[in-house]
Amino acid sequence: MSQVDIFSKHAAGSKGTERAPMPTQPPEERVKNFREVSLGYSPETARREASRCLQCRHRPCTKGCPVGIDIPGFVRLVAEGDFAGAAAVIRQDNTLPAVCGRVCPQEVQCESLCVLGRKGQPVAIGNLERFAADWERENREDAASKPVSVNGKKKGKVAVVGSGPAGLTAAAELNRLGYGVTIFEALHTPGGVLAYGIPEFRLPKDILAHEFKELERQGVELRTNVLIGSTLTVDDLFAQGFQAVFLGTGAGLPNLLGIPGEDLNGVYTANEFLTRVNLMKAYLYPQVDTPLYLGKRVVVIGGGNTAMDAARTAVRLGSEVMVVYRRSRENLPARREEVLHAEEEGVEFRFLASPIAIRGDEQGWVEAIQCVNMELGEPTENGRQGVKPIAGSEHWLPADSVIVAIGQGPNPIISRTTPGLETGLHGVLKVAPETFMTTREGVFAAGDIITGGATVIKAMGGGKKAAQAIDRYLRHKNSRLIGQSIGEV
Ligand code: FAD
Ligand code: SF4
Ligand code: SF4
């Protein structure tokens, strides 16, 4: 069928067509394993779903994508069966399509602006992006872009600190622009939250490994186990000949509840818990060295993606899990799909309740958590609905462990050890809006380190823009230096 045939046919019939559902592992099976829950579209389903797209000339969906992917362009190619072409279109703007297709909050980004969503269901843009990226990975080893250098020489050396979505995207873009790039990562495994936070059942780690292999194949150097601010400072990096430094160190420092009993055994921050399971493979203990005690009843505090990941991971480790969230269901910040999957897997939710104390047994292990009921109030300054405790509604819930998932902030190690770096509210780094340069010349930053906890695609969008700003800065600086040396001659 030609392209015209596909679109004239579906444009006439699309209003009545249903969005293709994403096949998943049945809940009763998936709670027993860590394999990916969503199974992906088949080529036939992907083509059928793609052919619902109306190919809107003004591309409203693209405006909802923080990296501006040509959505109608790639969706059209999927509908035509040109999957390699579709993946190539996506890769022009997105280095990690297989990741974003899985974890982007599409329902509030690209898909929220799809015209089909006005009266029915939007095109499943994220599922199609995932399909094209998976097809490319499984079918074409040499698919991604080739290394780019100027006249065979690199333009200069740039250090990228942190290998999460911001650092990885900045590194790929700087490499494409012709710079020699070294990534410095504190952990032994690259990927940031994609590696240590988001569990295998949402984002298989071989996908990440493939992306890093590709980046290294293109010439980017990766140095793990280097904590900048301790092993080396930012000043050491300049002394080693790096002409600019990009900081993509994220927001990995967990917020705490600040309530009595938070230091008891069996209280974990979600970061620690997820790192132990995802990175240190604690679920294989005693075959691995990382123990993890959860017990039968686990209470997770919070309502974001991190809380859902912690709750669903605890279910897979055999516990009964309750999520305690201080606002109502409608206010849950987690992706809708994550909440649905959590409920299917048996996670219980307790809305409008907030923890006020944790009680321990004689050995110092958690045995119960005290909560107070909350009521919704007026919207606050940041637009979210306010909440206040209801006097006299305090009550105890039995718990063998508690996982705290109430947000994260930036780790201050780099700002403390780098003269000239200024921080703003909650410790985020201050940057100039267009140039992403921090208050220290030659040091740039993007991702969660400048926004606080946000999303993968926003961190990637920031990393890409910062890389382009570094290129402008270095070209300007180097042309000034050349001008000066000609003047001196
Ligand atoms: P990070 O991903 O945090 O990466 C920072 C990297 O820098 C880390 O590897 C860290 O080890 C390294 N680093 C830190 N300090 C140093 C140092 N001093 N020296 C060297 N290296 C250093 N977003 C979504 O869009 N969808 C989701 O479904 C989603 N789920 C999430 C689930 C969890 C559990 C969490 C915690 C977050 C989730 N997010 C999600 C948010 C998203 O993952 C982040 O917004 C994103 O990863 C930020 O990217 P980043 O590159 O700025 O930082
Ligand atoms: Fe949508 Fe995210 Fe893909 Fe952009 S990267 S098109 S927001 S799923
Ligand atoms: Fe297709 Fe929806 Fe984008 Fe229109 S808005 S081009 S229907 S994906």
The reply to whether ligand 2 has any atom less than 6 angstroms from the CB of 457 is yes
Domain segments of the chain as ranges: 3-141, 157-252+409-488, 256-406
- Average pLDDT for residues 30-53, to the nearest whole number? 95
**Ligand 2 centroid – CA 457 distance (Å):** 7
CA distance 307 to 338: 10
Total number of residues shown for the chain: 489
Atom of ligand 1 nearest to the CA of 231: 19
- Would you say the CB of residue 182 lies under 6 angstroms from ligand 1? no
Q: In this predicted model, which residue has the larger pLDDT, 16 or 171? A: 171
Confidence of residue 299 (pLDDT cuts 50, 70, 90): very high
- For residue 54, the 8-state DSSP code is -
Is 157-252+409-488 assigned to CATH 3.50.50.60? yes
Q: Which ligand is nearest to the CA of 73?
A: 3
Helix axes 270-278, 305-316, angle to 10 degrees: 50
- Nearest partner of 329 among 310, 308, 313, judged by Cα: 308
- Ligand 2 binding pocket includes 274 (Cβ within 6 Å): no
Give the whole-angstrom CA distance, residue 367 versus residue 360.
Answer: 5
**Chain segment 372-382, per-residue pLDDT in tens:** 999 988 877 77
Q: Is the pLDDT of residue 15 over 80?
A: no
Structure tokens at 63: 């405006």
Higher pLDDT, 95 or 321: 321
pLDDT over 80 at 146, yes or no: no
Residue 149 predicted with pLDDT over 70: no
Lowest model confidence (mean pLDDT) among 59-73, 175-189, 201-215, 277-291: 277-291
Segment 409-433, tens digit of pLDDT: 999 999 999 999 999 988 999 999 9
Q: Which has the minimum average pLDDT: 209-223, 234-248, 457-471?
A: 209-223
Q: In testing the pocket of ligand 1, which one of 456, 464, 465 has its CB within 8 Å of the most ligand atoms?
A: 456
Q: Closest-lying ligand to the alpha carbon of 245? A: 1
The reported pLDDT for the residue numbered 338 is: 92
pLDDT, residue 7, reads 39
At residue 294, the pLDDT reads: 92
3-141 matches 157-252+409-488 in fold: no
Ligand 3 pocket, 61 CB below 6 A?
yes
Which residue, judged by its Cα, is nearest atom 2 of ligand 3?
114
Contacts of 190 (CB under 8 A, 6+ apart): 163, 168, 183, 208, 212, 222, 224
Does residue 434 carry a pLDDT above 90? no
* Residue-level pLDDT at 487: 54
- What per-residue confidence (pLDDT) applies to 12? 36
The model's pLDDT over 230-275, given as tens digits with 9 standing for 90+, comes to: 999 999 999 999 999 999 999 999 999 999 999 999 999 999 999 9
| CB atoms near residue 395 (< 10 Å) | 11
H or E segment and range at residue 137: helix 125-139
**What's the pLDDT at 281?**
82
Radius of gyration of the chain (CA): 24
Mean pLDDT of 140-147: 57
Which span out of 6-15, 374-383, 391-400 was modeled with the highest average pLDDT?
391-400
Nearest 10 degrees: CA dihedral of 323, 327, 328, 329? Answer: -50
Gap between the Cα atoms of 392 and 4, Å rounded: 67
Nearest to 418 by CA among 273, 245, 287: 245
CATH class of 256-406: alpha beta
The residue whose C-alpha atom lies closest to atom 7 belonging to ligand 2 is: 65
Fold of 3-141: Fumarate Reductase Iron-sulfur Protein; Chain B, domain 2 (1.10.1060)
For residue 208, the ligand closest to its alpha carbon is 1
Task: Render 401-422 in DSSP notation, one character per residue.
Answer: EEEE-S-EE--THHHHHSTT--
